[in-house]
Amino acid sequence: MPRPTVATSLSAKLLVLTILFVLLAEVLIYTPSIARFRMSYLEERLAAAHIAALSVEAAPDLMVTKELQAKLLAYTGTHVIDLIQPGARVYMLSRPMPPQVDAVYDLRTTGMGMQIVDAGHALLLALEGAFGPPGNRVIRVIDRSPNDPVQRVEVTMDERPLIDAMVEFSRRILAVSVAISLIAALLVYFTLHALLVRPMRRLTAEVVAFRRDPDGAPPLVPGTRADEIGVAERELAAMQGTVRAALRQRERLATLGTAVAKINHDLRGILSTASLLSERLTESTDPEVRRVTPRLVASLDRAVELCGQTLSFTRDGVLPLSPEAVDLHRVADEAGAEVLATVHPDGGRVEAEWINDIPAGTPAPVDAAQLGRALINLGRNAVQAGAGRVRIAVEVETEAGAGAGPAGLLTLTVADNGPGLAPRARENLFHPFAGSARAGGIGLGLAIAREVLRAHGGELRLVRSDATGTVFALDIPQGNKETDPVDVAGHKSFVSH
């Protein structure tokens, strides 16, 4: 497996994301900061204008010379200053020909939101000046005096110096933001690299080595960390041990299964011969021999069946399917004939009713032999457990696919009126050799039936099991193509399988 490059590594992504997030945070902080900077700038001009206007009060006849007036206006950076005191007294300083006012800002009624909007408008003017000659507006600013709130100051000034100051402030903020972003990113990068990336690389290397050679890879030695990385290391070490043990067990079982299959094949032939010879005992004139012979033959038949199922289970592997359009009604009928021919452990034939409620001609794209095998296993389990009636029905759910044509799920239900499953059987319902749904069984019937359904892409489910009986559901996907009409006469039987 190729290692990630520098550009695609987790470390590089962490570094880039940290820089972006810090810059985003700085942008969110910058917006109210630039608005507050603009307000402070204007308040400083108003405070200076207030002090300059007080010079009028000290002048003889409340009149200052033109030279002093020009100096005061130049010092404050304004064109006109009006100081309105209580009692409607007005002190005014003005240039001989003041310019026309382009915009008026009354800071007494301006909230933070409006301050941000005004600051953004000023920055837009600065941006326009970057692509052309710098423009300038004459603005009139009104507010209570920062030196004495009972007095009002009104100034007329150029906006260009304010915009230049805001741009310079923005440059300083940008430089500080970039420096903070890089420092924070590097600190976060090295911290996360030590705490997360390096341990994750170690875990990834362990997983890759274990996948390539489960037995030869050295065992993972987990650390003492108590966080999620430590938990992942301990769980990976435990999983490796479990998988190694399962692989060794699988090898032993495979060897044992091969031996059992060979022995089972020979034993099945011996039992079949004994069964044939035992049938001749029925011709004996000894009443006792004639009485026990059916039980002997039934026991031999059960032994042959056990060998056959075990051999089939160990040999099948992935079930080879040959799906074709078949008539489910006929499949169920042939399965019922096999079920009703089942022999009880005492040698007697079953006395049960097989009710086929599937409409004749119901099509399904399945392997008739394998599906019939599953139905036979379910039916035999039911009648051998004491059921007197087994009913099989069908339901079809049609769902509209996303442009792929009609899609449907076909569900067969097999319901009996037996005594229900024992608790042990429910716990190990589909586990081969782990438990049986009927007395004297070996637990292969349901396991094989489920494998058949899963090979079709479906599932075998236990719907209900109580004192009134047991119901199994066989879900079979029908695919996206409409099934062709079934040629019932050409349907192949699965009984010979």
The answer to whether residues 131 and 91 touch, using CB atoms and an 8 Å cutoff, is no
- Tens-digit pLDDT profile for residues 98-139: 889 999 999 988 888 888 888 888 888 877 766 656 678 899
Q: How far is Cα of residue 144 from the mean position of the Cα atoms in its chain?
A: 60
473 three-state secondary structure? strand
Instruction: Report d(CA 458, CA 450) in Å as an integer.
Output: 9
* Contact (Cβ atoms closer than 8 angstroms) between residue 475 and residue 409: yes
Residue 405 has a pLDDT of 36
Residue with tokens 């031996």: 259
Closest to 185 measured CA to CA, from 9, 25, 18: 18
Question: What is residue 93's predicted lDDT score, i.e. its pLDDT?
Answer: 85
18 membership: H or E segment, kind and range: helix 10-58
Measured CA to CA, the distance from residue 225 to residue 227 in angstroms comes to 6
How confident is the model over 453-497, as pLDDT tens digits? Answer: 988 889 999 999 888 999 999 999 876 444 444 443 334 434 333
pLDDT for residue 332: 93
Tell the residue number behind the tokens 């009880």, with chain if given.
344
User: pTM of the predicted model, to two decimals?
Assistant: 0.44
Contact 138, 95 (CB under 8 A): no
Buried b / exposed e across 420-451, counting CB within 10 Å, b at 16+?
A: bbeeebeebbbebeebbbbeebbbbbbbbbbb
pLDDT at position 401 over 50: no
- Is-contact 220 238, C-beta < 8 A? no
Alpha carbon distances (Å) from 414 to 358, 391, 460, 471: 11, 6, 11, 6
Q: Look at the block and give the residue holding tokens 């349901």.
A: 446
Say what percent of the chain tops pLDDT 70.
74
Identify which of 303, 449, 440, 458 has the alpha carbon closest to the alpha carbon of residue 375. 449
Whether the CB-CB separation of 385 and 418 falls below 8 Å is answered with yes
Contacts of 167 (CB under 8 A, 6+ apart): 123, 126
